[in-house]
Amino acid sequence: MNHVFKNRLIKDNLELFNIKKIQINCNIGWYNLLNVMCKQIQDYIDKNNKTGKYLQIVDPIHIDKVDLMRQPNITKVSSKNNVLEITVIDSNQYIDGIVNMAQAISTVTCNQCSKQKINKYASCIACFNKQNK
């Protein structure tokens, strides 16, 4: 991903990329997929911390003492075997599900242009033809 889109992704999702050293090593075709994934995660955190619906009880004896959900941080975004890999710290099962769905969608999405891939290990037809000229 070029620096312009990398910086835009980080700027638009500062809460999730709130660490000093962030590794984003993938192509631009997955930008929209990553951005939507980040928005879904942050909306989930914001909604549940605002409503208190999923507050974690610190001490079961003193139910009035609760912590807000921890803010997850994305530390690494990369590509392995043409599949998106994402590392998130302070995650939970729901957030892991969002990340797993984004990774699954990446298996059928061209990482060059966002079109549908030919198969799990290839680009879309147009990008495949461009690369093999």
pLDDT tens digits, 20-35: 788 899 999 999 999 9
In angstroms, the CA 9 to CA 32 distance is 9
What is the gyration radius of the CA atoms in the chain, in angstroms? 18
Q: Average pLDDT of 48-68?
A: 57
In angstroms, the CA 124 to CA 63 distance is 53
Structure confidence at residue 8 as a pLDDT band (50, 70, 90): very high
In angstroms, the CA 116 to CA 22 distance is 28
Does position 61 have pLDDT exceeding 70, yes or no? no
pLDDT of residue 65: 46
| pTM (global) more than 0.75 | yes
